[in-house]
Structure 1
């Protein structure tokens, strides 16, 4: 049985077979992923009205791909106060945001109460807003910095109002690649264990993969398979987000960047391999809005959201500093032949834009 027939029969693919998928021509592979997408969601494309808040850029870790943390490449350190963070959340809520997505650097000067206190303060001011916050990398940093276990940090997150976890910090799970691009950050096993523990608390999270730098295709597949294995155990991942590496203002010496075709192939392979993670997000911030719109035909059923403001990817060259207007976002999805569906953070449908 060839790989196309196997996928169409709904059979799972392993590492070697997933590499075979990459060798298919772009349109054959895209058609396979699109068939899966249509069975699940038809022509619906999900998005939410959200606000990214990046409260500090002071970081003890030095990841080679990062342009956001205060360093020689970004010599403007900042840390927002809890009051400033709450004020941003309030303004975003008034503008229609249903979610704040809070991701920081690993700031050893800010204090544990600053990290957790901001969530409590946001929840007290805005009880209905969904707080998506603290990557596994941040949780690991806080546990090490303050002599606590991962369980203790996770319990305090729940107590202070965190609703779900973002998928950041995963990068690439292959240990050798990880050693090169983000030495000192949470390990691949640590990342997976933190998400396992979060899922055991009945909570949902997302998963990411940073690709297009020094990794190879087999590293991407290995990454997906580790996520698939954990999802078989817990069912706690809402969404997989392949993040395209941003090339500006960092220390990772990359000679060849992925083509648009390679990005779309990676989207399609993700949809086929990750048969148990419901949603596949083409994060327009890193993929560009044009490629993200095309990715809707390569398995992606989610484009993230309006974002309003974003600093981490923008520092490395992404065109996301000021987000995107809601009406423009809806128009672009419609214009590409899909049906925009506003969702909440857990993928409950709020409004279908006809």
Structure 2
């Protein structure tokens, strides 16, 4: 039995070195294999949500070489939003249909520990029905380092303040050698995993990311995926929304305005192979997200044929990927998202943050009817 067949039957029986050989398969074989896992679960559905990204500040005490968002000599336009400004933006977006607020930012040394929880409490007080996704593992580690609180304490305080789930940012590549070169001083891979594992054991859901296409090797990507697989909770608990990773998000490194000086992105084939391999290795994580803000709409739609089942959302305003060159600054209109998914031959499904289906679009070009 070859490596692909063995991986499809039981990933745990295949070594990391063998799994790296999945990249040697032709792209159509990998796509077919990934689809054999995707289609029985989701058919032709492609998920998206209506969400708003809010980044409270770009002033950061850490210096990551791949980052174009944080204020630096590459980005001299430092800013801080007040709690009132953030709440105002959140209310405005919720009134315009956003079901989720995605609140992440830089590791701002000017904020007190209490500032974060005052912010989240104020958001939930103003819009209690919104799903608040906030503070990834790197930000929790920053609170731990700056204020001396345990991970458990910080996560308990987040939950009490109304944070519903955690985003997956800050994972980058778990390998310590790569992290030393691209984000030295930031949360370690081991501690990122520890933070999310604690959150999951609290019965909470999160996402997981992987930043790829920079100085990492294929082996580093495989290692990253296997570490995520290893800490994922029991599949039945995850499906019941009782703690675990909702989705894996492969984030394509953006080449502009940062300090890594990498001139070209990986080929489309390399990107699609990575997504397909992620679907095969991470069979215990329900969803693979082709994040359109990182990949672009067209490639994200193609990725739905290679194991992905989600596009992320409308976003409304995107600052992190676009600062590094992605064409995502203004988000995408909901009906445009629906039209793009339908035109690619899929069924558009609006979801909430925990992948409960909100609206399925029955498409009959050129109009769309929600049911």
State the TM-score bracket (shorter-chain normalisation).
over 0.9
Do the aligned partners of 2:254 and 2:265 also contact (CA within 8 Å) in 1? no
For residues 200 and 345 of structure 2, what CA distance do their matches in structure 1 show? 35
For residues 71 and 110 of structure 2, what CA distance do their matches in structure 1 show? 13
For residues 276 and 252 of structure 2, what CA distance do their matches in structure 1 show? 14
Partner of residue 246 from structure 1, selected from 247, 251, 254: 254
Partner of 1:117: 118
Q: Which runs of 5+ in 1 are unaligned?
A: none
Matched pairs, number: 354
Partner of residue 277 from structure 1, selected from 278, 285, 310: 285
Do the aligned partners of 1:7 and 1:32 also contact (CA within 8 Å) in 2? no
Which stretch shifts more, 176-185 or 147-156?
Answer: 147-156
Partner of 1:189: 190
Q: Displacement of 1:21 after TM fit?
A: 1.1
Partner of 2:90: 89
Q: Displacement of 1:3 after TM fit?
A: 2.4
Structural mapping, 1:288-307, within 5 Å: 288-307=296-315
Do the aligned partners of 2:99 and 2:352 also contact (CA within 8 Å) in 1? yes
> Residues 186-205 of structure 1: CA distance to partner in whole angstroms, max 9, x if unpaired?
00110000001101111000
TM-score, normalization by structure 1:
0.98
Do the aligned partners of 1:58 and 1:106 also contact (CA within 8 Å) in 2? yes
SS at match of 1:144: helix
Q: Displacement of 1:146 after TM fit?
A: 1.1
For residues 10 and 107 of structure 1, what CA distance do their matches in structure 2 show? 44
Q: Displacement of 1:164 after TM fit?
A: 0.1
Partner of 2:368: none
The answer as to 2:111 corresponding to 1:103 is no
RMSD across aligned C-alpha pairs, in angstroms?
Answer: 1.2
Structural mapping, 1:1-354, within 5 Å: 1-9=1-9, 12=12, 13-232=14-233, 235=238, 236-354=244-362
1:232–1:159 CA distance, 2 compared to 1 (3 A): closer
Q: Which runs of 5+ in 2 are unaligned?
A: 239-243, 363-371
1:187–1:338 CA distance, 2 compared to 1 (3 A): same
Which stretch shifts more, 246-255 or 280-289?
Answer: 246-255
> Residues 128-177 of structure 1: CA distance to partner in whole angstroms, max 9, x if unpaired?
00000001101110111111111111011011000000000000000000
Do the aligned partners of 1:244 and 1:287 also contact (CA within 8 Å) in 2? yes
Do the aligned partners of 1:151 and 1:197 also contact (CA within 8 Å) in 2? yes
For residues 5 and 143 of structure 1, what CA distance do their matches in structure 2 show? 43
- Once superposed, which parts of structure 1, at least 4 consecutive aligned residues long, lie more than 3 Å away? 7-14, 232-235
Do the aligned partners of 2:141 and 2:187 also contact (CA within 8 Å) in 1? yes
For residues 305 and 158 of structure 2, what CA distance do their matches in structure 1 show? 37
